[in-house]
Homo-oligomer: A and B are copies of this chain.
Amino acid sequence: MIRIGIMGYGNLGRGVEAAIAHNPDMQLAAVFTRRSPEDLKISTQGVPVYNCSDAKAHKDEIDVLILCGGSATDLPKQTPEYIQYFNVVDSFDTHANIPEHFDAVNAGGIASGKLGLISCGWDPGMFSLNRVYASSVLPDCTTYTFWGKGVSQGHSDAIRRIEGVKDARQYTVPVSEALDRVRSGENPQLSTRQKHTRECFVVAQEGADKARIEKEIVTMPNYFADYDTTVHFISEQELKEKHSGIPHGGFVISGGKTGLSGEYNNVIEYSLKLDSNPAFTSSVLIAYARAVYRMSKDGKKGCITVLDVPPAYISPLSPEQLRKSML
């Protein structure tokens, strides 16, 4: 049994707990929280909850610690800190800061002899794998990543910060015409606006100026200004009934040539359709926790990513079973 610790019991932490239940070789050993442990009720019976400040004392009870905090402020501190005592997996997803985060975690792991796998999930994660596989097999290919249809928490939060907004939910939607052009092997040049639209469902406070709210949304730099954005004002009740899920997904599509003079076209497509973004992300984290456990046992230390893991290491099946049933 691989003994898993969860650091942080939000959407992702609860997802990891659920994912462990789907993996018979895994066992939840402890949950760590910033809150008072007595105040936290978890779903799994008989598993201790500790304050995160006590984590170090439990290092011998845990094979892999899954860090379920956010990329903005939690993980840049937590992952280098906890790799002093634990093998760790995180879902750090600030793409631009990955090299810096990698170096910090790597230095910590080299010093402690522990192994950390960062930036795990589906993007970065499964989508990264597909970008690397496609571009390695078809060196001249163009790879496109589309997200959605799905809820963007960052964009929903940005709307909620506007004066007069009570609640909001933002969906990122890939443009189907763009998808079709990419799938045709045409390798088009696509602007930000041509790839995705943004659809916003907004609950306004009573008496708020909806026209001003809508204008503030659609002109917001970085978040909305470069997209075709539609805004729907709905009731709090409707938001709760129709938009309380956290679905997501997307597409990685690569078009490239083969043949002596590039005479053959090829299209490689990978897609995800997920009812719950955090539940799926957690499932990826747990599969890679298995790999971290095994690679650490092999003597590997420092920092790795999904790109460094042989696929067989994430499977509960043995190499013999995999060759027989999956190859």
Q: Which residues of A contact B (CB under 8 A)?
A: 14-15, 17-19, 21-23, 43, 95, 98-99, 102, 119, 124, 126, 128-133, 135-140, 183, 185, 257-260, 262-276, 279-280, 282-284, 287, 290, 305-312, 314-316, 319-320, 322-324, 326-327
Closest chain B residue to A124, Cβ basis: B327
> Of B124, B280, B326, which one neighbours A131 at CB under 8 angstroms?
B326
Chain B CB within 10 A, most for which of A264, A280, A308 = A264
Residues of B within 8 A of A126 (CB): 133, 137, 268
Contact in complex: B327, A22 (CB < 8 Å): no
> Of B119, B259, B290, which one neighbours A18 at CB under 8 angstroms?
B259
Closest chain B residue to A17, Cβ basis: B260
Closest chain B residue to A25, Cβ basis: B139
Residues of B within 8 A of A95 (CB): 327
Q: A-B pairs with the 9 shortest C-beta distances?
A: A264-B275, A258-B279, A264-B276, A307-B312, A18-B260, A267-B273, A136-B314, A136-B315, A136-B287
Chain B: minimal CB distance from A122 (Å): 9
Extra 15 A-B pairs, beta carbons < 8 Å, given A258-B282, A266-B273: A17-B260, A22-B139, A43-B260, A95-B327, A102-B323, A126-B137, A129-B311, A132-B315, A136-B316, A139-B316, A258-B280, A265-B275, A269-B272, A270-B270, A307-B326
Q: How far is the CA of A268 from the CA of B316 in the complex (A)?
A: 19
Contact in complex: A133, B137 (CB < 8 Å): no
Chain B: minimal CB distance from A265 (Å): 5
Contact in complex: A274, B279 (CB < 8 Å): no
Chain B: minimal CB distance from A66 (Å): 14
> Of B102, B132, B287, B310, which one neighbours A307 at CB under 8 angstroms?
B310
Residues of B within 8 A of A273 (CB): 183, 185, 266-267, 269
Residues of B within 8 A of A140 (CB): 22
CB contact under 8 A between A287 and B137, given known A307-B322, A310-B309: yes
